[in-house]
Amino acid sequence: MPENPIITFENVKKQYEEDVVLKNINLKLERGKFYTLLGPSGCGKTTILNLIAGFTEVTEGTVTINGEKVNDVPPNKRTVNTVFQDYALFPHMNVFENIAFGLRIKKMDTKTIEEKVASVLKMMRLSGYENRAISEMSGGQRQRVAIARALVNEPDVLLLDEPLSALDLKLRTDMQYELRELQQRLGITFVFVTHDQEEALAMSDEIFVMKDGKIVQSGTPVDIYDEPINRYVADFIGESNIVEATMIQDYEISFVGRTFECVDAGIAANERVEVVIRPEDLVLTTPEKGKLTVKVDTQLFRGVHYEIIGYDSEGNEWMVHSTKKATVGEMVGLFFNPEDIHVMRIGETEKEFDARLESYEEE
Ligand SMILES: Nc1ncnc2c1ncn2[C@@H]1O[C@H](COP(=O)(O)OP(=O)(O)OP(=O)(O)O)[C@@H](O)[C@H]1O
Ligand SMILES: [Mg+2]
């Protein structure tokens, strides 16, 4: 846990009339890190950003910035800036005036404004575009203007609400690198919102996976990818094969009628669990050499690999990423290593989670 967090949420609840849209959010964000809020539409991502920025008020709980409670502090008094999904640029102003706008409101002198704008334009590789109309800029350029406009205020925290969703795939990937590099160079805290799991995995120091106004799991991209806490996270964070299983004893697990060596210990014997195996961890082989046998149902060429889907004897679906081709209708073997089996404790995590929520609610 960070000693001196830049932002904290303590038991934050947000309600619109009868509608509880955030249920007891607890966060501690460190300085200079790249955080991502990841979750489906309507789960409360923008609401969290709005609470940090001060565009909306908490119903219950406390938000702090730099150790100070900010529940009643207006947005312009917070050292936070937001890049909105639609950029919200002023179409009738040129690039320079868009970026200078906030500084003019603060009544800064002209020379300082010119210096600061020139510096962020350079940083965002927009030098020379000062007098361009916004309508004459491409999507990617507008996006950079929106970031420059936020950075010119030298915020401690930059909030980015799905800033890349309007861009095409190539530009989006370029901007992912650019944003990550910028964040590391400036050393300020970024809170980035996306519903794209690949984007979250590529960019973040830490990811918060959200569902229905709750944070279901937080951790580094590798933690969340390798050790999803439940089926929801496993499904959301990437393509995965999930089957029901039974823990036999430490380091031994059974599924699809067979027993396998695994790397998990500390779970009760005979506990019902779920197992995740990633498609890229499965190796296509002959039925004799495989640990599981499946009948190939479909095969798609995905450029880097074939995506093969087959069914085992119990009707479970298995997706395999393979550079080798299979034939639809044939029986193939799937090989995997003990460490590729990720065990998730079904009931327990959900129950624990709800119990924790209830204990907060009772306080
Ligand atoms: N001003 C408001 N009044 C009433 N309900 C609201 C208001 N703002 C948001 N909500 C509701 O709060 C919930 C969370 O909304 P939020 O905008 O935070 O979702 P989101 O995760 O950002 O979704 P998306 O990915 O679609 O942007 C939604 O059910 C939404 O309808
Ligand atoms: Mg949103």
Please report the atom of ligand 1 found closest to the CA of residue 39: 21
Q: Which fold has domain 7-226?
A: Rossmann fold (3.40.50)
Question: Does the pLDDT value for residue 193 go beyond 50?
Answer: yes
CA distance 153 to 148: 9
Residue-averaged pLDDT of the chain: 90
Say how many Å lie between the CA of residue 162 and the centre of ligand 2: 7
In this chain, the answer to whether the domains covering 239-281+337-363 and 283-335 adopt an identical fold is yes
Residue nearest to atom 17 of ligand 1 (CA): 46
Q: Which two tokens stand for residue 192?
A: 């980035």
Contacts of 160 (CB under 8 A, 6+ apart): 82, 83, 147, 179, 190, 191, 192, 193
Residue 357 pLDDT grade (very low, low, confident, very high; cuts 50, 70, 90)? very low
pLDDT digits (tens, 9 = 90+) for 198-255: 899 999 999 999 999 999 999 999 999 988 888 889 888 888 899 999 999 999 999 9
pTM, full prediction: 0.85
Q: CB 168: neighbour CB atoms within 10 A?
A: 10
Q: Which of 9, 13, 14, 21 to mutate to test the pocket of ligand 1 (most atoms within 8 A of CB)?
A: 21
- Which pLDDT does position 353 carry in this prediction? 52
Contacts of 88 (CB under 8 A, 6+ apart): 146
pLDDT digits (tens, 9 = 90+) for 68-85: 999 999 998 999 999 987
CA distance 265 to 288: 29
What ligand is nearest to the CA atom of residue 19?
Answer: 1
- Which pLDDT does position 317 carry in this prediction? 95
Place domain 283-335 in its CATH homologous superfamily: Nucleic acid-binding proteins (2.40.50.140)
Domain chopping of the chain, boundaries = 7-226, 239-281+337-363, 283-335
Match 């197992």 to its residue by tokens. 275
Residue nearest to atom 8 of ligand 1 (CA): 47
Cβ–ligand 1 contact at 46 (below 6 Å): yes
For domain 239-281+337-363, which architecture applies?
A: Beta Barrel (2.40)
Say how many Å lie between the CA of residue 46 and the centre of ligand 1: 7
